Chains A and B, each alone.
Chain A
Amino acid sequence: MTYITKPKLHHPKLPVNALGFTHRDYEGSVSTLCAGCGHDSISAAIIQACFEIDLPPHRLAKLSGIGCSSKTPTYFLGQSHGFNTVHGRMPSVLTGANLANRDLIYMGVSGDGDSASIGLGQFAHCIRRGVNMVYIVENNGVYGLTKGQFSATADKGSKSKKGVANPDSPMDLVSLALIAGASFVGRSFSGDKRQLVELIKAAIGHQGSAFLDVISPCIAFNNHAGSTKSFDYVREHNEAANALEFLEGRQEITIDHDPGTTVNVTQHDGSVLRLRKLAEDHDPTDRTSVMNFIQRHNARGEIVTGLLYVEPDSEDLHHRLGVTKRPLNSLSDAELCPGSGALQKINEGLR
């Protein structure tokens, strides 16, 4: 790790956003991860995305599990809320927090071990319930923090640093999220910041469970020849399905010159996802065809990236449960605990 604190001095011409912040105001502490770790690039992309959408840092709650990836919330948005849960249990803590205060923006940051191994059940159920959140898995195919054992997302045949091939089938979190009913699904690569930043912005604007699988090479244990999660391998096999441009609601939407290749998807909050089509066989609003699309390309050894699926009129957990529209901390004691008379009424209604 780096011993010095990052100097406060910044480029004199840094742009400022609507809140008067530069992107440097969205930083956290200096990373303690290995130099060159893909996770750090993802943190940088989160910082850039939050800066670009003028997010007030105190409106964000970042939750994570255990792992190098789960350590990263310390390294971005130092002025926001955070909770580092136990291994694989981030989804339930996030769900609870979200139920208590629906006004915050929730970002779950996890690893492939944290979400696809120990936390697989939590992952699937949280997605299934439509919790309004951005769920990012920083996917390196190994347990980085415990020194590089294969995780459940490691491809069959991918080689460990010592040259041993992984015998098991991989868990594809993107496919799983689609099956579980995620209303926003994307995949990206830590080494492609432009694509990643737009995806994060769009996911934050999404109402419902937005899932991002971000391939993020583990520089220490999984960036060698023979690994399918190395910088070189991912760069060689990366197939972008589309190019996304995230347009905030207040931006003017211009008429497209080439309607055949571009679709605009308007989200709940008025933001527009402008998608320039790059793969012929991809329709981002048709869940079944997207699942087929992913399998087809998987079989060819390609890693498809981009905004893979989006359901513009999605509903989230609060809507489904019909609970109060206000955060619990803004309710009075009387509202929170209406007394035994009210309880009796409810009980009677159930007889």
Chain B
Amino acid sequence: MSAGTETLEQRPAPDKRKSGGGHSGDAAGMPPTDISNPAYFHKVVDCQWACPAHTPVPEYIRLIAAGRYTEAYMVNWKSNVLPGILGRTCDRPCEPACRRGRVEEEPVAICRLKRVAADNKSDISALLPPKPAKKNGKRIALIGAGPAALTVVRDLAPLGYELVVYDADKKGGGMIRSQIPRFRLPEEVIDEEVGYILDRGFVETRFGTRIDSMKQLLSENYDAVFVGSGAPRGRDLELPGRKEAAKNIHIGIDWLSNVSFEHIDKIGKRVIVLGGGNTAMDCCRTSRRLGGDDVKVIVRSGFDEMKASPWEKEDAMHEGIPIFNFLVPKEFTHKNGKLTGVTFEKVVAKQDDKGRRQLVPSGEPDQHFECDDVLIAVGQENAFPWIERDCGIEFDKWNMPKVNETTFQSTNPKVFFGGDAAFGPKNIIWAVAHGHDAAVSIDKFCNGEDVSKRPPPMTNLVSQKMGIHEWSYDNDISNELRHKVPMRDQKIALKDIRAEVELGFDQKLGYAETQRCLNCDVQTVFSAPLCIECDACMDICPVDCISFTPNAPEPDLRQMLSAPADNLTQDLYVSVPLKTSRVLVKDEDVCLHCGLCAERCPTGAWDMQKFLLEITHATEARCSRA
């Protein structure tokens, strides 16, 4: 019916505001969205996009809702390797990204749902990749058995690599085992998940062995070396009194690993923890369980600026630990060689000339807090005293190895880095993501391929239509607010350092929480030729994210929609010009993926299609080529 369009364009539009207005082919308008680019729909799945390992979150949440815990676990296992561990400890970058948090108060409890899958799964041994029948002739050395190295092992073992894993500690797991307190993560969970990995093929563990010389290791003719040694050095505070009172002043991470390995089982009654990060939170909560009755956290910065995650601060305060802010430690006081307390200078936050926040002395008198022990948790550093500077691995001015951010290769092409060792302390999920990438590089390197050529992700886009208004996903989302994870009775929890504080969601609560997920992977796919511009989709959309409008440059277009599209991190989905020469614009920001637009569309111009993206790991990349 091109006649209609001609009529509209030939005669001067009498009313610019009416639906027929606008002009096609506006050169300055936004180009149509290219949905064949996998990044477009991937970005819509906010949680998966934010997850460093790109775990297909809504996919596993639906499996949990269906009671298919084992499959949900395996979706996780494939992406993030350590679901039971991460389901209790992950830093969860996915949750602040979760769309639910933008249309309601709080995001879906993505992390704790992962634990539901882990807690309720059945035996997975038959689902793990088969052990390789024979060696492929390549030998790799791995230094450290933390999450980064374990991921490399997991990805390379099925391909027949001989993997030699060194760790100074007696068991695998890295800081997951040595640092994270047992009341947050039971040891059985670590044993189980580390076990799945180390049991996958030709893996040799040399635990209890510290590598003292990279040169020496390189001379052993490994085909490649992976450095996953973490950031093992805790920062100290060189203040007056530090030496004199040394017996009762401890470096947080050293102290925590001594607790984990049962070399320390008590602390004084009055404890001060210095620092505002997650290590400080673990130190204070651990102290509460080892005899500390009066435990305080004292921090330089303000409360909101503290590095610890909000939930870690909450958990600490819930255990009766006060947090004091804007106090800078000045001196350790002592008497007869014994620590008596810490003196602090009071500061306030001010903006300097350049608008930067700075802490300046408040002028108030110093404050002294008495205590029996101090735990210093003011940061962690990398340390590579065992890497000789003349073995081909270049270091930068901060004494960090020069590592390629995509390939994780160092300047010695045989040596790869990952986890905290690569770019400084981060967290478990980043270590896993690095491990996947490093494994791809190592495999390519060992096969004489170009490590800079990365395997594309695997994607799949499938219509969810089952009947006229029936979808193969549950589009009826729950209005309930985020569910709280049940906790162990505090009296019992504080008595036993091994008693896990969080009990986890049971199946019923877990199910209820799954129903809050908006299924952001079920994409709204628009077909312009089918659209008759009846407005039905625009009228039904519960969050006003659909508009039919003349095209315009993006900043203008964002203000011309049914509701302003002010979240610039979220894309606009723009169609080719329609019959009236307007375009369809969908603001992806707060779409609930409820499918109502598709249900109300008379012509099927909207369809709900599930977009599954899986990162190609070394295992799959090699197998699919073979």
Contacts and interface: CB of A to CB of B under 8 A. Distances in A.
Interface of A: 1-14, 24, 30-31, 34-38, 40-41, 43-44, 189-195, 217, 219, 223, 225, 231-232, 235-236, 238-240, 243, 278-279, 306
Given A9-B479, A235-B4, A14 B544 contact: yes
A2 B15 contact: no
Interface residues of B, number: 46
A295 B269 CA distance: 96
Nearest to A45: B539
- 3 nearest CB pairs, A to B: A36-B602, A44-B539, A240-B15
Contacts of A5: 476
Given A14-B544, A14-B563, A35-B600, 15 more contacts: A9-B103, A9-B542, A11-B590, A13-B564, A36-B532, A36-B536, A36-B602, A43-B539, A189-B19, A195-B15, A217-B534, A231-B532, A243-B17, A278-B14, A279-B14
A191 B536 CA distance: 10
B602 A238 contact: no
A14 B102 CA distance: 13
Nearest to A242: B15
A236 B602 contact: no
A219 B538 CA distance: 16
Interface in B560-593: 563-564, 566, 579-580, 590, 592
Contact of A36 (B3, B542, B592, B600): B600
9 contacts: A2-B469, A2-B540, A5-B476, A9-B103, A36-B601, A193-B535, A219-B534, A235-B4, A236-B7
Contacts of A225: 1
Among B3, B18, B594, B603, max chain A CB count under 10 A is at: B18
A4 B594 contact: yes
A24 B563 CA distance: 13
B534 A9 contact: no
B18 A238 contact: yes
User: Interface of chain A, helix or strand or loop or mixed?
Assistant: loop
A167 B536 CA distance: 32
A306 B602 CA distance: 27
Contacts of A239: 14
A306 B7 CA distance: 20
B331 to A, nearest CB: 49
A9 B469 contact: no
Which of A11, A36, A43, A279 gathers most chain B CB within 10 Å? A11
B463 interface: no
Nearest to A220: B602
Contacts of A41: 534-536, 539
Contacts of A235: 4, 8, 19-20, 579-580
A35 B4 CA distance: 23
A285 B535 CA distance: 33
A221 to B, nearest CB: 12
A225 B534 CA distance: 16
B599 interface: yes
A219 B535 CA distance: 12
Name which of A191, A239, A278, A279 has the most chain B CB atoms within 10 A of its CB.
A191
A7 B477 contact: yes
